[in-house]
Amino acid sequence: MSATVGQIIKCRAAIAWEAGKPLVIEEVEVAPPKAGEVRLKILYTSLCHTDVYFWEAKGQTPLFPRIFGHEASGIVESIGEGVTHLQPGDHALPVFTGECGECVHCKSEESNMCELLRINTDRGVMINDGQSRFSKNGKPIYHFLGTSTFSEYTVVHAGCVAKINPAAPLDKSCVLSCGICTGFGATVNVAKPKPGSSIAIFGLGAVGLAAAEGARVSGASRIIGIDLVSSRFEEAKKFGVNEFVNPKDHDKPIQQVIAEMTNGGVDRAVECTGSIQAMVSAFECVHDGWGLAVLVGVPNKDDAFKTAPINFLNERTLKGTFYGNYKPRTDLPAVVEKYMSGELEVDKFITHSVPFSEINKAFEYMLKGQSIRCIIRMQE
């Protein structure tokens, strides 16, 4: 048994002391896991736009000091009472949402929205006791999304940890714990394009490219990328996008442009921007009779979706999805196997890699639009 089991661990963490200011790497204390929790040694983490959004604290309640990070891979260091699906030494991915296995959602084959462990961006403490497992000089440091992977060690609810194949490269599989699965699953699990079909992908950031990858794997023949930044098209070709439309190049609604391109509309559409106009366009650009649009992006809380009811009556379908409809503990190991077999090409999502000491470079790359995913090597 490890000498650290049951003990407080002192390690480095990148702390956000205030909104928008560079993270500061400092020593923190990480408490041992309590019942139903797991302490992980984080080996690799990557930067997601969600981290940046809450670090900037624009449009939400600020909560600082905080340890961000939620896309990661690591090794189980110790487990709390009652944890049975994990053991010290297991290779694992922490996930921002979870699977308690007991609620009506977890027991349903049609949902992955666990009642207990569903994403909560405002909570900065553990569910069990409302306390943080991080502290510095006796003062608590807040958690983020129940994961806080910008720390060499972190404590996570066991229901938010997926055990994976120990042969899987942790420096690559870490990106599967958030954005890649969100986009890929939206296509393969929800849109389900048929071989030879057409699909429109709105937004060619990391999630949109993952949705395009899902379309490529599914055998869609026309994968149309829609983005306001034309320079993204060249990169998108690597993910199967073979046509590109920039709405700024047209003087008519983009849904009309796509309908004209495709003889009435695409078979499927996946929206990955969070723009309410893009959501409406995605729905209205699918073909009547069988077209299906899937919404992935998170809109402003005050936005409202508006379309003519006849669009539904003409047998277009609109669906939403959360984390690609994957149950983390049940489904994520199989996604990792898709990567291991070469069916899902993960490496091309990774554009940069930096040591933990240079974590702020990852923020710079993302803010400048230079990276899809930047891997942060935690153990230097």
* Residues near 274 by beta carbon (within 8 Å), at least 6 away in sequence: 297, 298, 299, 300
Q: What is the pLDDT of residue 370?
A: 87
Q: What is the Cα–Cα distance from 225 to 241, expressed in whole angstroms? A: 6
Name the catalytic one among 12, 39, 45, 48: 48
Q: What is the pLDDT of residue 2?
A: 66
Residue 282 phi, psi (nearest 5): -60, -40
- The answer to whether 78 and 30 are in contact (CB under 8 A) is no
- The answer to whether 106 is a known catalytic residue is yes
Q: What is the pLDDT of residue 59?
A: 64
- The answer to whether 48 is a known catalytic residue is yes
Q: Which residues of the chain have pLDDT under 70?
A: 1-2, 59
Name the catalytic one among 39, 66, 70, 222: 70
- Give me the sheet containing 9-15, strands edge to edge: 9-15, 24-30, 134-136, 139-141
Name the catalytic one among 26, 49, 307, 377: 49
- The answer to whether 268 is a known catalytic residue is no
Q: What is the pLDDT of residue 117?
A: 96
Name the catalytic one among 37, 39, 45, 50: 50
- The answer to whether 114 is a known catalytic residue is yes
Residue linked to tokens 């983390």: 328
Alpha-carbon 198 to chain mean position = 25
- The answer to whether 54 and 120 are in contact (CB under 8 A) is no
The DSSP secondary-structure symbol of 190 reads: I
Name the catalytic one among 85, 118, 123, 377: 118
Count Cβ atoms within 10 A of the Cβ of residue 256 and give its class: 0-12 exposed, 13-18 middle, 19 or more buried: middle
Q: What is the pLDDT of residue 44?
A: 98
Domains identified in the chain and CATH numbers:
9-31+52-177+346-377 (3.90.180.10), 182-321 (3.40.50.720)
Q: What is the pLDDT of residue 302?
A: 83
Name the catalytic one among 114, 174, 181, 272: 114
Count Cβ atoms within 10 A of the Cβ of residue 129 and give its class: 0-12 exposed, 13-18 middle, 19 or more buried: exposed
- The answer to whether 118 is a known catalytic residue is yes
Tokens of 38: 């797991």
Please tell me whether residue 99 adopts helix, strand or coil conformation: coil
Q: Long-range contact list for 306-309, CB < 8 A, 24+ apart?
A: 306/280, 307/280, 307/283
Residue 9 gets the label, from left (phi > 0), alpha (psi -120 to 50) or beta, of beta
Cα 366-166-338 angle, rounded to 5 deg: 65
pTM of this structure: 0.94
- The answer to whether 243 and 256 are in contact (CB under 8 A) is no
* Residues near 94 by beta carbon (within 8 Å), at least 6 away in sequence: 40, 70, 72, 74, 147, 149, 154, 156, 160, 161, 177
Q: What is the Cα–Cα distance from 145 to 67, expressed in whole angstroms? A: 10
- Dihedral sign for Cα 197, 203, 205, 208, please: negative
Q: What is the pLDDT of residue 229?
A: 93
- The answer to whether 181 is a known catalytic residue is no
- The answer to whether 373 is a known catalytic residue is yes
Residue linked to tokens 């395009």: 212
| pLDDT tens digit sequence for 149-196 | 999 999 999 999 999 999 999 999 999 999 999 999 999 999 999 999
Name the catalytic one among 97, 99, 106, 232: 106
Comparing CA positions, the residue from 111, 116, 118, 112 lying closest to residue 97 is 118
Element at 365 (helix H, strand E) = helix 359-367
| pLDDT tens digit sequence for 324-371 | 999 999 999 999 999 999 999 999 999 999 999 999 999 999 999 888
